[in-house]
Structure 1
Amino acid sequence: MLGRDDELEAIASVLHGGALLLTGATGSGRSALLEAAAERATVSGVRVLRGAGSAFEADLPYAGLHQLLWPLRGDLDGLGPAHRDALRSAMGLDAGPAPDRLVVATATLTLLTRAAPVLLLVDDLHRVDPASATVVGFLARRLDGSGAALLGTTHTGGELAGIDSLTVGPLTEDAASALLTACSPDLAGRVRQRVLAAAQGSPLALHELPAALTGAQRTGTRDLPDPLPLGPRLTASYAARLSALPAPTRRLLLLVALDGPAGPATTADLADLERTDLVTIDGGRVRFRDPLARSAVVALAPPGERRAAHTVLAERADRPERRAWHLARATVGPDERVAGLLMRAAHTHRRRGDAAGAFAALVRAADLSPRSADRSRRLAEAASVRADVDLRGVSRLLGDARHADPGRCGSVPAAIASAHLVLNDDGDVDTAHRLLVAALDDRDPAHIDALQALLTVCAFGGRDELWAPFHDAVARLRPGPPTLLALGASLVAAPARATPGDLALLDDLIGRLHDEVDPARIVAVGRAALFVDRMPACREAHRRVVRDAQRGGAVIAVVRALVNLCLDAVRAGRWAEATRLAAEGQALCAAHGYQMLRWPLRFGVALVAAGRGDEETTQDLAGRMLRWAAAHGARSVARAAHHALAVAALGRGDAEQAYRHAAEVSPSGTLATNAPLALWSAIDLVEAAMRTGREAEAASHAAALGQVAPLSPRLALVAGAAAASVEPSSDRFAAALAVPGAERWPFDLARVRLTYGEWLRRHHAASAAREQLAAARHAFEQLGAVPWTARAEAELRAAGATPAAGPVTLTPQEREIALLAATGLTNKEIGQRLHLSHRTVGAHLYRVFPKLGIGSRAALRDALSVRGTTTA
């Protein structure tokens, strides 16, 4: 009984004497609460007597009382003669004149009192015959203290005077979601949302609506009908009410139901419609009281009436796409005119970001296509759109397209859908690339879509030979490429080469995002903005894409929005948020088949782990990324892994490893044109090069970084720091720290302060060094960047800062590992003794270092003896 704690508590209060009437709408769970009461009463040793109202017995006097008292018929002889005879006559056990109702009622009360403890359950009291209802009302007002209890149910508005009632309302959102999960755990996410919205918290609907769907509809591989079909019990519950209405009223209700929740009606119609109690009328607009009533009206209308209603609504339609849909539903056989209207409707849906609506229109257009070639192309285009919503079902659609016109060569939409499948199945970048390049045709309306898909493939591949056909195709476009494609060709392919014109165009698009409704355009702008550090201005639009995910938008756009938000959160130092967004995105990838997009999300997690000193997670994720990238030709995924490994190596003080990894992202002296991550990893290479004596490499890379400094404040910050590292001076470092907006990038800013503080300490400016190092340590602590905090703390001690007084609190495992490390054992040897992996040992040590105020294991022995430790 999910979400019914209050109702169960109220029921429990009357189980040993008293009466309660449960009221509510059909399907609210009133009867289920009676069953729960029966179970609780039986466990408590209370005898349960049952009765239920029935339309077939409503004219039989005392039929309901007969149901209730039949189990007690053997006790009738223990009553006084008057009471015994009245009940035997009322129950049909003896022939005779109709007994007095008051006598029957008092006899029943006496019988129940003697049989106590006893619980009477009366379901659908509004359908019980009047004689029995009179007795029930009499009992309900006199059971207190008798040991007998009464629970009844009735529809809303069927309350009885003098009896306490409790309205059983709809389930809360959380309870409804939990019940749906328990009843139908296999529903796809978008299907769940439709069912929850239609059920409106009705337990019966939550059971029946999923059961009325096909297997393909439940898993999301087939679109859901509108409205959702009802199960047998829900249909039956509305059938009697609808069949009693005049035919003209039913036709009006059907028009309202088919035209959506706010269908039209004339003034003369309003009174008849309002009397049905199925709708409400506000300002001349008609709305169903609940979505289930709308579904029932459609389900119970004969097919011919539904088609006639759609024809009427097509004539009234105020928008072309609504007219197209109504005509499509009124059409039985192939009709190219209607199919063409649906194609235009599909393109309108796509422009508005309604991928699910576009897909449904394309499939229906294919069904109505008289020519096999048109049917084939429309199915292929449906597959292409479907790939943006859910990859499941795309293969079947492509197969249907081939079957519709076996002699037809592959179309551009088919190539786009096939490339999606290839990328997200085995991740074969080169195969997806060949499919798209071979299909490019600037005469085809889907040509731009194919180029956008090719842009994604090239970005994952990250190799010059992949980009060349893309750039050639974009250059051939006349009069020129669309804005977003042009931006992708520069800011996604090679942000280091972005021109002021590119940035101005991007800034203009970002300024328009608050009015943008197409999620694909929003995430495309975000992708272009990410590596030139303009994602903060795109956050709200991206969050809107995620919030609106259930309104028919493309799921792939939601995942890409989460990727952009996740990586932006990493750069902005909101690491907990980045981890949460990555988890949300990976769950969507798993549910909808977008395996390729797992990698940028895992990259975000790896970067956070590297910053925090979680060596085990960093090494695990980076290792998986490198293996997968090598097997599938995805150079950008490999670069991402090396960037995370470089950050981790710098944190633990291994500059040689850091240099090797950073050089894999982009060689020293250049910012690789096909590697956007070069803009993020450049400072890693400069720092590692300086720490390993590679001054020439550091200088050449700092110079390359200086060329891109105008692209963003963050790049100006790190470029200034790189220049100051190569040719140190207080003025250079101060200029870098003075960059406006530098505080928006707390990890980068703290690293600059750390480098500056280290230089000041080495040049005997201890007081100034402590100021910078203390600020760096505080920032690293706030981020949870454990190894970096340890580095700053060690530098602070070397600069003469006094360590915090008093013992340090370590966990038992941290203390044990620290003591073993202080004896000179390696991480591997410690792990063997404690049955831990060497990475876990390393992670514990990097948490211990900042607590003890040290930067390396060589200082462990002194720190443990000088400061002492306590166990948490």
Structure 2
Amino acid sequence: MSSPESPDSGGGERLDGTADAQQADRLVGRTAELALVDELLGPAAAEGVALMLTGEAGVGKSALLDAAARRAAEAGFRVLRVVGSQFDEGVGFSALNQILQPLADGIPGLPPRQAETLRAVQGLSEEPPTELLSVANAVLALLSRTAAEDRPVALVVDDMTWLDRPSTVVLGTLARYVRDSRLVLLAASRIHEGFLPSGAGIHTHEVQPLDDASANELVTHRFPAMTARVRRRLVEEAAGNPLALLELPVTLNEAQQTERGPLPAVLPLSERLKKVFAVRVDALPDPTRYLLLLAVLDGSGDLYILQRAMSGLDALAELGPAEKAGLVHVDSTRGRLVFRHPLTRSAVMELSTIAERRGAHLALAGECPEGSERRARHLANATVGPDDGVASLLHEVAYRTLCRGDAVGAVTTLLRAADLSSDGTAKGRMLAEAACLGANIAGDLRNVRALLDDARLAGPVSADSLAVAATAASELINGEGDVDTAHRLLVGAMDSYARPSPAEDHMLNEALHVLILVGFAGGRPEFWQSFDRIATRVQLRTSDHLLSVVHCAVGDPAHKALPVLDDLDGLVFALHGETDHRRILRTSISAAYTDRLPGCRSALRRVVDDGRNRGAVTSAIEALFILGYDAYASGQWDDLRNLTAEGLRWCDSRAYGLPAWSGRFLQGLLAAAQGDGRTAGETADRLVSWANPRGLRLLRVYASHIRALSALGDADFEEGYRHLRSVITPGELPPYMPHALWLFMDFAEAAARTGRHAEAARHIAAVRETRIPAISPRMAMMTDGAEAMATTDFIDHDLFERALGNPDAERWPFDRARIRLAYGERLRRAKSGSAVVHLEAALSTFQRLGAEPWRARAANELRASGNPVRTAVSGTDPVSTLTPQQLQVAQLAATGLTNKQIAGRLFLSPRTVAAHLRSVFPKLNVTSRAGLRDALTGLPRPRT
């Protein structure tokens, strides 16, 4: 008599997925519902109560009833189960007999009329059942007697939608009188489809879909190998329906769950989900189903488009049956058709044939303008077999998609265009372009080699092809190859193009940017000279403004940045509306070497978020490490750890070797600044080991920077000088060495503190001659500070004060604190009383940053001056350990703002706000937001 695998039974949100009695109540996100059950069971032992759970199919009502039945049994109730079945809907009293069967021994003890009535219900009497009220009274008498003589009774009724009508009426009558007996009635039905009268003692509770956090927890536990992006897609499609959350992954293979294979545009339904979502679609008239198919394939829900595509039929009239079935509704304010649940779209697709889908795509293509992207995509979906015209349209669409910031979509479109091409050469070119975009933007080097092999098999794709060369160069510098070979491949490919056709502009532009990367990593002037020659010959330096800016600001900022700074500022300003990841990243890396990254932050975070959600991982890796450098320079060192850790995880999983070393360099720099000499040294050693066989000079410079900073923090100036001297020639700022801008203050301090004053002075003179201070306020501050450090015969108060008085100096707290420390050291040796002001300020900043060796140097100077190291800056004041941004976040959280609200005010991501709070709580010795106000009120503010 039970339902054959009730559609809702899969909605149980059990973490363990078993029926084990000890684990069965572990339902995700159902704390409120279980508390309601417990609250009702207590009074029910003395007087009856009824609870009706309603909700959509698959939302987890059956799982809640299972948990409620177990809790009732543990509380001493006798539990009787009734499950409706759609096959028994027309069989009189079939559900009621599920109650009577286990209580049959008690029927003879009832008054004769009631006993006879129940025997008639059981079919054991020749007399037919009497009126339903008499049946209800007889059942109530049997249940009351059982409760009185034995123990309270819990009647658990599932799937009331499918109960036979007589049983439903009887149970509704029972519900009115449960207060007169020790009876609890727990029932469940789909929303608006069950029947249970309202009245005293009858409670109704609608079971809502799971929230996103609970949905993620459920899927993560049941499918631990699934990647985060796939999980987010499933959670979005399931819309909180537990059955869907557990069943949708069943339709995906392992490659799809782990992102090694693409997900379908519309997720397929399992057999159980079809029972829930497809049954109502299948019952619709054919024109209505066709209208819904058009809506799914169109994606916009625009009723005007749907009306035109219906070929004369009245779309609103045909929509009526779907509205009545609760599948869709019309947003009249926007003129849009909206599916009430995302999986209804999947059901519509499941029930359509290939011919129906092809016809619908053709109808929709006919309503799109010529040359539009939507028309091209509909035609591609309707095409069976090769069609070079459609392939050409898709080729153009792929690059429009790329400019929108959807690199993964661009690669997918190129692959479809290649499928539709009958020309082997064109097919091979498109596959090679897909490989290039996949390697350099979308983000998975593991698949690139297979794509290049397919390109060569498809047609005569030369090794000198720009796409092949750019892809191969990326493979080489990220793997076991060397930078010289990568450079030779790129130059050879670009030299073969005297004047590229418009169709090849995209690949030429990509290849030139890869050549910039090769020159940047290789660090040799001849690499940049070949770029100058090629860029001039193909006449792109004037037509691609950004390319020229990147070349100057990244390739040789010391000598070439000044003329392009106005252009760069314009590009940074335009980032708020920019969608193309390539332009965001190329502008931002230019901004990194010219200290303009704050204006790029929000755009970079968009790239990271897009990478997390849509799979453009290479772009996200670059954005994370650029944000990581910004976090280092601005003193947000906790952010630096989080950003680099996430980026390195992606690098490891996607075989990106070269970008990984940018992240490790930042981690090594942080370790050096904070006194973790072992980590700093190991990181530097690994950088050199990876760089040497590949000819990557940049990484050797990175290693020297880490070692020098570590030595300077420990006041080992001779060791610091030795490492810096390996990459710096005093008085020279060689072209095409951008990292020189980050080292000249270190060199000036190390040289001056080891008695090499002439070298320090000569180097700072070269800095001024190249007008580096004009690049940014930071460069001006560091130049003044470095020159003041290099001056030996007197304290140059003007230089120190000018450096520290720079109105933007607070944006770079570590650099500023180092200048303060140097000033304080000289003032202390001159026995000036003002030394303590600068030493305490430097000490406070180092304390907040966790820069322990620098803190120790400042503290030692304070003690040497005869001044005590104040408690407020010695580490016992918790507030002084917060970074400026952590303090801002903590103060806003203490006012009661949510993470999302704080993020909006500070232009951060909610994820970053959460990370700050996780760091703040232990520092302030509080465990929740509630303790922040007292902690911040009762303690002094950090020094600035």
- TM-score category of the 2 structures, normalised to the smaller one: 0.7 to 0.9
The answer as to 2:439 corresponding to 1:390 is no
CA drift of 1:118 comes to: 3.7
Please list every run of 5 or more consecutive structure 2 residues that lacks an aligned counterpart in the other structure: 1-26, 308-312, 877-944
Q: What are the residue-to-residue correspondences of 1:299-318 with 2, within 5 Å?
A: 299-318=350-369
1:132 — aligned with what? Answer: 167
Q: What are the residue-to-residue correspondences of 1:696-775 with 2, within 5 Å?
A: 696-706=758-768, 707=770, 708-727=772-791, 728-764=795-831, 766-775=832-841
TM-score computed with the length of structure 1 as normaliser: 0.88
Structure 1 contact 665–681 (Cα < 8 Å) conserved: no
The answer as to 2:40 corresponding to 1:14 is yes
* Distance (Å, rounded) in 2 between the aligned partners of 1:53 and 1:606: 65
Return the match for 2:433 from 359, 381, 384: 381
CA drift of 1:524 comes to: 0.7
Q: 1:111 to 1:422 in 2, by over 3 A?
A: farther
CA drift of 1:654 comes to: 0.9
The answer as to 2:386 corresponding to 1:334 is yes
* Distance (Å, rounded) in 1 between the aligned partners of 2:622 and 2:448: 19
| Letter aligned with residue 267 of structure 2 | L
* Distance (Å, rounded) in 1 between the aligned partners of 2:573 and 2:395: 32
* Distance (Å, rounded) in 1 between the aligned partners of 2:743 and 2:679: 20
CA drift of 1:805 comes to: 8.2
Structure 2 contact 428–461 (Cα < 8 Å) conserved: no
Please say which of residues 244-253 and 540-549 is displaced more in the overlay.
540-549
* Distance (Å, rounded) in 2 between the aligned partners of 1:296 and 1:651: 64
The answer as to 2:659 corresponding to 1:659 is no
Q: 1:128 to 1:654 in 2, by over 3 A?
A: same
* Distance (Å, rounded) in 2 between the aligned partners of 1:484 and 1:495: 15
Q: What are the residue-to-residue correspondences of 1:811-822 with 2, within 5 Å?
A: none
Structure 1 contact 571–745 (Cα < 8 Å) conserved: yes
| Letter aligned with residue 269 of structure 1 | A
* Distance (Å, rounded) in 2 between the aligned partners of 1:131 and 1:422: 76
The answer as to 2:279 corresponding to 1:233 is no
Post-superposition CA distance 1:583-620 (Å, at most 9, x none): 22223333444343222122222222222222233233
* Distance (Å, rounded) in 2 between the aligned partners of 1:644 and 1:256: 58
The answer as to 2:530 corresponding to 1:478 is no
* Distance (Å, rounded) in 1 between the aligned partners of 2:244 and 2:564: 53
* Distance (Å, rounded) in 2 between the aligned partners of 1:132 and 1:469: 87
Return the match for 1:343 from 366, 379, 395: 395
The answer as to 2:87 corresponding to 1:87 is no
* Distance (Å, rounded) in 2 between the aligned partners of 1:808 and 1:311: 73
| Letter aligned with residue 123 of structure 1 | D
CA drift of 1:566 comes to: 0.8
Aligned to 2:743, the other structure's residue is in SS state helix
* Distance (Å, rounded) in 2 between the aligned partners of 1:767 and 1:536: 37
Q: What are the residue-to-residue correspondences of 1:824-863 with 2, within 5 Å?
A: none
TM-score computed with the length of structure 2 as normaliser: 0.81
Q: What are the residue-to-residue correspondences of 1:67-146 with 2, within 5 Å?
A: 67-113=98-144, 114=146, 116-144=151-179, 146=181
Structure 1 contact 30–168 (Cα < 8 Å) conserved: yes
Q: 1:620 to 1:165 in 2, by over 3 A?
A: farther
Please list every run of 5 or more consecutive structure 1 residues that lacks an aligned counterpart in the other structure: 811-872
Q: What are the residue-to-residue correspondences of 1:150-169 with 2, within 5 Å?
A: 150-158=185-193, 160-162=196-198, 163-169=202-208
The answer as to 2:436 corresponding to 1:357 is no
Aligned to 1:177, the other structure's residue is in SS state helix
1:792 — aligned with what? Answer: 858
| Letter aligned with residue 745 of structure 1 | W
CA drift of 1:498 comes to: 2.1
| Letter aligned with residue 52 of structure 1 | V
Aligned to 1:22, the other structure's residue is in SS state strand
| Letter aligned with residue 468 of structure 2 | A
| Letter aligned with residue 724 of structure 1 | A
2:28 — aligned with what? Answer: 2
| Letter aligned with residue 324 of structure 1 | A
Post-superposition CA distance 1:109-154 (Å, at most 9, x none): 2333416444332221122111111122122233347443222211
* Distance (Å, rounded) in 2 between the aligned partners of 1:410 and 1:61: 80
Structure 1 contact 346–359 (Cα < 8 Å) conserved: yes
* Distance (Å, rounded) in 2 between the aligned partners of 1:223 and 1:121: 44
RMSD: 2.6
Q: What are the residue-to-residue correspondences of 1:309-708 with 2, within 5 Å?
A: 309-318=360-369, 320-387=372-439, 388-391=441-444, 392-405=446-459, 409=463, 411-426=465-480, 428-440=482-494, 441-442=496-497, 443=500, 444-445=504-505, 446-478=507-539, 480=541, 482-549=544-611, 552=614, 554-706=616-768, 707=770, 708=772
CA drift of 1:431 comes to: 4.3
Structure 1 contact 640–665 (Cα < 8 Å) conserved: no
Structure 1 contact 356–554 (Cα < 8 Å) conserved: yes
1:270 — aligned with what? Answer: 316
2:331 — aligned with what? Answer: 282
Return the match for 1:210 from 246, 249, 265: 249
CA drift of 1:211 comes to: 1.5
* Distance (Å, rounded) in 2 between the aligned partners of 1:779 and 1:667: 32
| Letter aligned with residue 28 of structure 2 | L
Aligned to 2:366, the other structure's residue is in SS state helix
CA drift of 1:565 comes to: 1.0
Return the match for 1:297 from 338, 341, 348: 348
Structure 1 contact 257–263 (Cα < 8 Å) conserved: no
Q: 1:146 to 1:462 in 2, by over 3 A?
A: farther
* Distance (Å, rounded) in 2 between the aligned partners of 1:807 and 1:564: 31
CA drift of 1:306 comes to: 0.9
* Distance (Å, rounded) in 1 between the aligned partners of 2:61 and 2:595: 57
Q: 1:211 to 1:593 in 2, by over 3 A?
A: farther
1:38 — aligned with what? Answer: 69
* Distance (Å, rounded) in 2 between the aligned partners of 1:616 and 1:554: 35
CA drift of 1:499 comes to: 4.1
The answer as to 2:228 corresponding to 1:189 is yes
Structure 2 contact 828–865 (Cα < 8 Å) conserved: yes
CA drift of 1:42 comes to: 4.5
Post-superposition CA distance 1:56-95 (Å, at most 9, x none): 2111111112234433334433434333332232133444
1:862 — aligned with what? Answer: none
* Distance (Å, rounded) in 2 between the aligned partners of 1:427 and 1:799: 56
CA drift of 1:809 comes to: 9.1
Post-superposition CA distance 1:205-264 (Å, at most 9, x none): 111222212333222233222222122222222332122222111111111111115233
Please say which of residues 197-206 and 544-553 is displaced more in the overlay.
544-553
Aligned to 2:197, the other structure's residue is in SS state coil
Structure 2 contact 844–873 (Cα < 8 Å) conserved: no
| Letter aligned with residue 359 of structure 1 | V
CA drift of 1:330 comes to: 0.9
Post-superposition CA distance 1:155-214 (Å, at most 9, x none): 122352223111111111111111111122222333222212111111111112222123
Q: 1:805 to 1:352 in 2, by over 3 A?
A: closer
CA drift of 1:804 comes to: 4.4
CA drift of 1:752 comes to: 1.0
Structure 1 contact 351–518 (Cα < 8 Å) conserved: yes
1:846 — aligned with what? Answer: none
Please say which of residues 514-523 and 99-108 is displaced more in the overlay.
99-108
